Structures are given as C-alpha cells and as structure tokens.
Structure 1
Amino acid sequence: MMAVPKLTGLFFWLLLFLSSFLGSIFLLFPFIPLVYFAPCVWRTIADCFIGYWLFLPSSLCDYILGVKFHITGDMISCSEPALIIMNHRTRLDWMFFWNALYKMDPWLLTTEKISLKQPLKCIPGAGWAMQCAAYLFLERNYKSDADTINDMITYYKDVGRHYQILLFPEGTDHSKRAAKRSDEFAMQRGLPIYHFVLHPRTKGFSYMIQVMRQKSYLKNVYDITVGYPDEIVSSELEILQNGRFPHAVHFDVKKYNENDLPKDNCGLANWINKIWREKENRLENFYKADVSHRQFLPCSEKEKWPVHTAGIGYYCAFLFWIAISVVWIYFIICFFFVRIYVFFACLFYVFCHWQYAGVQNLALQLFKQQQQQQQMNQKFE
C-alpha cells in the first residue's frame, strides 16, 4: 500500500522536472536572442510562458492531489508593483502560494517574482526557467545581496513591468535548526521566543523597501500568513520519498499601502517586528484549535475565495503540458537534429551560468549596455 503514495510523489516531481526542462529548451531558448534585440518583448514572452507553466504544479496540487486551499483577506493587484512578505513554515510555501495567486487572478502567476537561495538556479530545467524569469537569487550575504536587489529592481522598473516580489523575511524555513538559531538570537537581544515563526531579518527587509521606494517601484506591501491545519510537509524529499502532501493550506492576506509604512530603517525594523509578533499570536490561536476547525480569522472582511477552483484553466494547462512534453520527447527520440538542438541549448545554459551567473544576469548586463549606448547617442545628437 505504501507504494502508491511513493509513486505519486515520484510522478509529481518527474512531471515537473521533465516539463520545466523541456519548456526551457523548446519554449524559452528560441527567444533568447530577444534579450539583446528586444529586451522588453523578451520579458513579456518569458513571463507569460513561465506563468503558464506555473499552472501545472498548481493543477496537480488542486485537482490531482486534492489539496484544499483556503484563501482569505485582501486582493493582490497584478497591475501595481508590490512587496509580498510571508512566514516561511516549509520549503514548499512558495509553490503552494501559486494556487492562492491563481484563485485571486491567474495573471498574478505572470507577475510574481520570488527571492530564492542562489543554489536553486543551478537545477537543470527548473533553475534555467527561474533564471529566464529573472527571479532574485540571494546568497545570504548582505553586501552581494544588496547589489543584486538594487540591480534587479532597477531592471524590473526599466523594462516597464509591474511585479509583485515575494520575500521571506525570516530568511529560511522553520526547521529545528533554524528555530534554535532564532531562539538564540532572541535570548541574546532580550526578544520573545517564538514557536510558530522565526524572528525576521529586519536589515534585508528594510533595504528592499528603501530600494523599491527610491525607484518609485512600490505601491503596496502584502503580509501573508500561511498555516497548515493537519499535515505539515517540510521539504521536497518528503514528497519524493513518501508521497506526502498537506490535505489543506490556509493563506490570509493583509494589504498595507506604502505610505502607511515608516520612512526610516529603524521604523521599518520595528514595523516588521510588530507584524511578526501579531503573526505569532495568530498562528498560536490557529494551531490551538482542533484540526477540523483550524482557520484564520481574516485580517480583512473584503474577500474569501471559494475552496473549489471553478473553470477549466487547470484542466487545459495540465493537458497542454502533458501533451506537449510527450511531443517533445518523441521529437528528441526520433530526430537527430533535435537532439543536436537540445545539446546546444543545454550547453548555452551551462555556459551562461559559468560566464554570467545565469540568464538573468546576461539580460541585465545587455540591458544596461543598451541604456548606456542610448545615453551616449543622445549626448552626440
């Protein structure tokens, strides 16, 4: 009986790996020249392709695996630049959050950007797609990360796209090791001990807010609280090895206008610490309740999305990615020139990672060079 859940987990990750690998080869790679010739067009095409791929894991979680998503609170706008902050309970929070975005507005899957750990961009297929998506890859080193944040937000602004950037202020998921380090940090500074969240890293959060303000690229901040009422699946390996998935995931959204946040770094640090104290209390009340009655009292009475996802969007996306992946695999098996094409596409991504630390940095450097050239031309006109 244990073989079925294990096969489910294997099927889940195998399908995501194959579709992301093949998609980065056959959908994204042919448009790479636009990084130089039409960077704004490249950004639009890459965002749409990757956003539509995100329908696949969302459809698997919702329809195939039967995970129930409960979404309450404020609507997130895809037409305004914003920062999204969330407690980081598991390594999979960002993946489950795609279902919340889909329920609110499927276009949000094309405008969300995620701050991730640097090593994730090295994953063949998925990592290449995340590079093309221009996600923020951070090293947990303030100096280098500050440069990355500044460069990427400038890039987002200059290509004329309005993105919502997902940031986990805690810096890592709520593992035993991370919780112990958070407790030690709290004791050293006379702060309260948290049981359901980690103490946020205020310096990085404040810097992100200030850079977005300097670039006039911040309209709202969305505070997301995520909770798992029954099964807490902490990592990708738990899905792969045991086929375990949560039965339900709860998200509550509270919107803050940028003007309501403090203007100085000290004030911002106090603000997010206050938000996290409130989040700890909300999660404590959430987990105190019986499993069958665990739910968030919404911070806002504006919205409560249906648990059941209506429409055929998930079905269409699931069938599309299954069918197109089968076609691509058939072409690779049957045609020698397609295998040559795949080889050179993979070689490009490896070279790009070695030479530029990723497609996102190649796009950024070429865009900077074009801007400098345009400024030079204007001076001589």
Structure 2
Amino acid sequence: MNGSASNEEEALNGNKKKFEAGEPPNMKEPPRHRPLTPLRIFRGVLCLVVILSTAFMMLVYWAPVTVLLFRLFSVHYSRKGTSILFATWLSLWPFLFEKINKTKVVFSGDRVPKKERVLLFANHRTEVDWMYLWDLAFRKGRLGYIKYILKSSLMKLPIFAWGFHILEFIPVERKWEIDESIMRKRLSTFKDPRDPLWLAVFPEGTDYTEQKCIKNQQYAAENGLPILKNVLLPKTRGFYACLEHLRSSLDAVYDVTISYKHRCPVFIDNVFGVDPSEVHMHVQRIPINEIPTSEEDAADWLVERFRLKDQLLSDFVSRGHFPCEGTEGELSTPMCLVNCFVVISLTIIFIYLTLFSSVWFKVYVAFSCAYLSFITYYGVQPPQVLGYVKAMFDAKKTS
C-alpha cells in the first residue's frame, strides 16, 4: 500500500512539473487513423447535409403532431409517438459510424436486457461519447427513449436544440445551486414506469483532458480521495438526485466505460470518418437494490465505481481490449438501409410539399418553426388537457 501511494505521488508530482513547465504529461496524440482525402470531405459534407435536412423536416412536420396534439390527450402516447419517429431518424448516426465510416464498435461485459428502465453513467473522454451510446441503445430498441443530462449551451444549437427539447433532455449549467431545482422538476416527470427510459449521465461533468486530470489529481491528494489517471473524480449530487427521484421505477444502473482506438475523436472526425478506428464499450449492469440509498453512501459508491473504471481503462491501454468481449452483434445492414430510405423518402416528400404544393404547407412549416422556437426558448411542454378535464369531472362526481 505504501509503495503504491508513493508511486502515485511521484507520478502526480512528475505530471505537475511537466504541466508547470508547459510540457504535455503524456506522449503526443497519434496521427489520424485515416487520411482526410477530398473524397472523405465530400462524403462527410454530403452526410452532414442529409442529417441536417432530414432533422429539420422530421421536426417541423412531426413534432406538432406528437408533441402538441398527442400530448393534449396523453403524455405517455406523446412520448411513445415521438420516440418511435425520432428513433428512425437517430438511426442515421449508428449507420454513419459503423457502415459508412467503417468504425468498429466492440461491446464487452454484461449482456443487458432489452426492456429495462435504467440510469446509465459513463466516463467522458471526448465531446462525442454521448453519440456512441446511440449504438448501444439502437441494439436494445431504446434509441428513441435515451435522454441525456447535457450542458445548457447545447440548447442554443440551431435545429438540434429543438430535438433535444422535444426528446426531453435535461439542460444544466453545471452549478448545483442553479441546476438542483431544474433537475428535480424534470426528473419528477420521468417516474411513470409505463414510459421506457434510458437516462444517461456523465458524472465527471466535463470531457477529459490532461490539464483537467492534473488539477483533479491535486484535489484528490489534498482531500484523501483516489488519484485517478484516466478519468476525473465524479460529481455525485446530480447522480444521486437521479437515483432519489427514479429509484422506485428503475430496474438497474448501467456503468459504461468507453475507450477509443486509434485516438479520441471530435465531432468533425466522425463526420469525415477519419477517426476513431475502434470504439470499445464495457457495460456492467448493477441491480438498483444493490446501490446505497443514503446520499453519502451513494456518493462513496460512485467514487469507487470510477476508481474501478480507472483501473479498467489502464488495463485496456496495456491489453488493447476490455474483458468479456463480443456481448453484442453487428448492426443489421438491411435494417439500417430501410431506416435510411424511409427518412430520406419522407424528407423528399416534405420538401416537395413545402416548396411546390399548397400554400397551407408553408403556413404549417412557419407555425411549426415558431412553435418549436417558443417551447425550446422558454423550456415548456404543453399540458395534458384531457387528464385535467377527467380529474375535474371525477372530482365533481365524487363530491
């Protein structure tokens, strides 16, 4: 134990000296796995145009139906309709990653069931980790039901912010005194066990960098916490708030550890297909009754999970893989092609109706854009009118 602590302290001091001298703690990042050729640039731009145009048309034509009209009668069926429609569109991303870019996605660990309500937490290596969780959700039939806790600045992205809002992602400022009330309000709407749910959390609160790691290690050393090399210490309050509100309706918690070969990608790498060569995801399923109920014990439990996650990532670096690989198969190419054909065909029809058909379609699109902008900017969802009317009628009947 003393030798291990001494080694950790030496590594921390060495990293600190390099950081203060302006040197990187580790080796330089390797070059891209695939060269950025003109063909890849053309293909990437084409894919991005397809994704943006299909997103826009699917949102403006379907969102008022599933999010406004359906929700007036039933929140449950509104969520179901929205999830089915947008799972079809979201399937374009795994298709891009695995079939067009030829990125190998390897799953290991536990083979998780398909129909569970879960809280999922993962390490945050780069800005696109959350997108690769779609590859797992797609295989489990939960692509339209995955929801993220994400930084509020992403709610300002054109078009995508509309989608984030109607899919009920939870925006946060990463300041607990501001986020607590917002999170608790949003989480209280996810308690219905009839609604499928994959709620994804990144407890580190930010993506990993060497500089952040050094500062995190210094904080850990000063406060008697584990000194981690491959992840940052988790922020526990948001995770516990999710557990506290949803525990009674959850089946399990999924601990997902993500690592990359050849190097960690950024968004533009995904678009052009130059990196990564492989994405490895290790999934561990923890039954909800095995997680402590008190906030202090749950916080300690989460820190310990990240210590184990750090060790798992160190083993990955030395071995080149996670244990128990091959828990999920490859995506079905015919299914991906069918989904892609459906989305693109609908988009072509919607574009034709908007530009060349009745003026009422232009009015509808204008109304839809205004409606989506309004509800996203003010963070509101329409009420379930039928439920209120029924409750009032039942109250009068009993009185």
Please say whether Structure 1 and Structure 2 have the same fold, judged by a TM-score greater than 0.5: yes
Q: What's the TM-score, normalizing by structure 2? A: 0.82
Task: Quote the Cα distance in structure 1 between the aligned partners of 2:332 and 2:194.
Answer: 32
Are 1:296 and 2:330 counterparts? no
- State the identity %: 23
Residue 6 of structure 1 corresponds to 41
TM-superposed deviation, 1:237 = 4.0
3-state SS of paired residue (1:200): coil
Residue 334 of structure 2 corresponds to 312
Task: Quote the Cα distance in structure 1 between the aligned partners of 2:298 and 2:237.
Answer: 9
Is the 8 Å Cα contact of residues 43 and 159 (structure 1) preserved in structure 2? no
3-state SS of paired residue (1:193): coil
Is the 8 Å Cα contact of residues 156 and 162 (structure 1) preserved in structure 2? no
TM-superposed deviation, 1:168 = 0.8
Is the 8 Å Cα contact of residues 22 and 125 (structure 1) preserved in structure 2? no
Residue 249 of structure 1 corresponds to 279
Written as runs of structure 1 = structure 2, the 5 A alignment for 1:1-381 is 2-31=37-66, 32-103=68-139, 105=140, 107-158=141-192, 160-176=194-210, 178-213=212-247, 216-233=248-265, 235-239=266-270, 244-289=274-319, 294-298=320-324, 304-306=327-329, 308-310=330-332, 312-335=334-357, 336-354=359-377, 356-357=378-379, 361-363=380-382, 366-367=383-384, 377-380=393-396, 381=398
Task: Quote the Cα distance in structure 2 between the aligned partners of 1:271 and 1:12.
Answer: 42
Q: Partner amino acid for 1:272?
A: L
Largest Rg, 1 or 2: 2
TM-superposed deviation, 1:207 = 2.1
TM-superposed deviation, 1:378 = 4.1
Task: Quote the Cα distance in structure 2 between the aligned partners of 1:152 and 1:78.
Answer: 25
TM-superposed deviation, 1:372 = 6.3
1:212-245, Cα deviation, whole Å (9 max, x unpaired) = 22xx222211101111021311x324445x6533
3-state SS of paired residue (1:362): coil
Distance 1:171 1:374, change over 3 A: farther
1:257-289, Cα deviation, whole Å (9 max, x unpaired) = 111111211111111111111111111111124
1:165-194, Cα deviation, whole Å (9 max, x unpaired) = 111111111134543442343243233432
Task: Quote the Cα distance in structure 2 between the aligned partners of 1:162 and 1:4.
Answer: 41
- RMSD of the TM alignment (CA)? 2.4
TM-superposed deviation, 1:374 = 5.4
Task: Quote the Cα distance in structure 2 between the aligned partners of 1:178 and 1:342.
Answer: 45
Count of residues in correspondence between the two structures: 360
Q: What's the TM-score, normalizing by structure 1? A: 0.86
TM-superposed deviation, 1:150 = 2.4
TM-superposed deviation, 1:370 = 6.7
Structure 1 residues without counterparts, runs of 5 or longer: none
3-state SS of paired residue (2:46): helix
Structure 2 residues without counterparts, runs of 5 or longer: 1-35
Distance 1:86 1:373, change over 3 A: same
Distance 1:94 1:158, change over 3 A: same
TM-superposed deviation, 1:375 = 5.1
3-state SS of paired residue (2:285): strand
Is the 8 Å Cα contact of residues 187 and 193 (structure 1) preserved in structure 2? yes
